[in-house]
Amino acid sequence: MLNEINQAKKVLLGNRKKGYTLPTNNNLYPAQWNWDSGFIALGYSHFNLKYAFDEINTLLEGQWKDGMVPHILFHDLNTNYYPNHSVWNCGNKIKSSGITQPPVLAIILKRILDKNIIKDKEKIKSIIKKVKKYHQWLMRYRDPKNSGLVSILHPWESGYDNSPLWDEPLKSIKIEKNLKYKRGDNKVVNPDFRPLDIDYDRYVTIKNHLRKNKYNPKKLYETSMFNVVDVGFNSIFLKANKDLLYLLKKFNLEHNEIEKYVLKSENKIEKLYDKKTKRFVNYDLKNKKKITVPSITNYFILFADLKNKLINKEIIQTLKKHNTKEKFFFSSIKPNYTSYEEKRYWRGPVWINCNWIIYQGLKDKDKKFAQMVRSKTIDLVKKNGFYEYFNTKTGKAYGAKNFSWTASLFLDLILEKKFN
Ligand code: GLC
């Protein structure tokens, strides 16, 4: 085990730049990504607390004045990445993308603070306040009607960019005429593992529309070509709000607004539960349609720690049927589903961050199952390496190698102090 632990640390250190860490050491992702950074900070916290806080602080340096924390920060302007900083054409102190990603920061921060004593309380308070501002941005602009659930306005905001969850909402989007751009991703890794051109055209069309509207969050909730209430994103946000609330109380900071929103979300998210099929489903606000794709991210609801024990129990039963014949789990999409693809990213393969999130959600609800998820995840990485994603039938690794969050979360699973 020691050998693999050292290797995981080496992956992170190898990808580290000044104050932040790349998702991988090849050219696929030459910038800082929002939720990657959260997971990466957690990994560092097991062996270098300074680097963990550097990661978080650098991400927050990119926070916009209105509170948004972008999904990408372009520290290095000289790369072949598409869409790069000039295509997005925005950012505050640091050039950035104009959208966000799953807000895992509060969750990671709480986890790190639970296990470490930090002397400089003022520094921690200032981080917590910035995270609160980020959550307020999500509440204000992504849920302007104060319903308790937030929307994402681009598939990239989910973090599971190419998931079949987005196939239906994307279909209604008219691809911009004379779209000119050059993808970089499919030159770096096998195009069979990456999104199809037609999907990319749609991503770019939505992005261009956001830019044309100067990323004005007030306007875009109504006018964006894509507006979906995603179970996975909302589950992460609910968990993050619960953890933020805990931190605000602990550090004697104002917490009323967050407390109210947690109560509201807890009730509202249950509306996305389909009692008949015992699954959670997404809601496409733009087209007023349910999205019933069997995505593993719908089980992030376990991470949100709903008080409703019956729903938790039923969801775990459904989760146990997500992968039956497959040797490695969890596949990102249930393998008997029509749009399942074995190799293409987010359309079938196993992702370590999804397993980690679900494992955290299962820990106090079904210990035996949780333990199995944990050890199977550790074994998968041990046998196949620190890759971006894996084949659910064979374990074969795909995508980027030396992938930071795979290394980080592997470390966290192994070094977690107590398994309870
Ligand atoms: C891909 C993933 C996204 C991740 C990024 C960097 O775009 O879909 O979730 O944050 O790569 O690793």
Say whether 161 is catalytic: yes
How far does residue 219's CA lie from ligand 1's centre (Å)? 26
Altogether, the residues listed in the chain come to a count of 420
> Which pLDDT score, from 0 to 100, does residue 155 have?
98
Provide residues with CB under 6 Å of ligand 1: 23, 29, 33, 35-36, 159, 161
Select which of 143, 157, 161, 243 is catalytic. 161
d(CA 104, CA 87) in angstroms, rounded, equals: 26
Please determine, for residue 420, whether its predicted confidence score (pLDDT) is greater than 60: no
Share of the chain above pLDDT 70, in %: 99
Q: What is the DSSP letter of 36?
A: H
Q: Give the chain's mean pLDDT.
A: 96
Band (pLDDT 50/70/90 cuts) for residue 176 is very high
Give the global pTM.
0.98
- Count of Cβ atoms closer than 10 Å to residue 204 Cβ: 19
> Which pLDDT score, from 0 to 100, does residue 309 have?
97
How far does residue 36's CA lie from ligand 1's centre (Å)? 7
Average pLDDT over residues 145-155: 98
Tokens 């051109």 map to which residue? 197
Select which of 230, 341, 388, 412 is catalytic. 388
Residues paired with 398 in a beta bridge: 389
Q: Which of 29, 82, 105, 200 to mutate for ligand 1's pocket (most ligand atoms within 8 Å of CB)?
A: 29
Task: Kindly report, residue by residue over 62-101, the tens digit of the pLDDT.
Answer: 999 999 999 999 999 998 899 999 999 999 999 999 999 9
Burial 300-338 (b: 16+ CB within 10 A, else e): bbbbbbbeeeebbebbbebbeebbeebebbbbbbbbebe
Q: Is the preceding omega at residue 195 within 30 degrees of 0, hence cis?
A: no
Going from the N-terminus, what domains does the chain have, and what CATH number goes with each? Answer: 2-419 (1.50.10.10)
Burial of 222 per CB tally in 10 Å (0-12, 13-18, 19+): exposed
C-beta separation of 286 from 224 below 8 A: yes
Average pLDDT over residues 299-305: 98
Task: Kindly report, residue by residue over 240-296, the tens digit of the pLDDT.
Answer: 999 999 999 999 999 999 999 999 999 999 999 999 999 999 999 999 999 999 999
Please determine, for residue 419, whether its predicted confidence score (pLDDT) is greater than 50: no
Task: Kindly report, residue by residue over 97-142, the tens digit of the pLDDT.
Answer: 999 999 999 999 999 999 999 999 999 999 999 999 999 999 999 9
> Which pLDDT score, from 0 to 100, does residue 69 have?
99
C-beta separation of 377 from 413 below 8 A: yes
Q: Which residues contact 19 (CB under 8 A, 6 or more apart)?
A: 54, 55, 57, 58
Please determine, for residue 2, whether its predicted confidence score (pLDDT) is greater than 80: no
- The token pair that represents 316 in the structure block: 């775990």
Band (pLDDT 50/70/90 cuts) for residue 148 is very high
Task: Kindly report, residue by residue over 186-244, the tens digit of the pLDDT.
Answer: 888 899 999 999 999 999 999 999 999 999 999 999 999 999 999 999 999 999 999 99
CA distances to 75, 185, 222, 373 from 79, in Å: 10, 12, 34, 38
How far does residue 159's CA lie from ligand 1's centre (Å)? 6
Question: Phi and psi for 21 in degrees, rounded to 5?
Answer: -130, 135
d(CA 74, CA 20) in angstroms, rounded, equals: 11
Nearest CA to ligand 1 atom 5: 33
Say whether 388 is catalytic: yes
Tokens 């991988």 map to which residue? 24
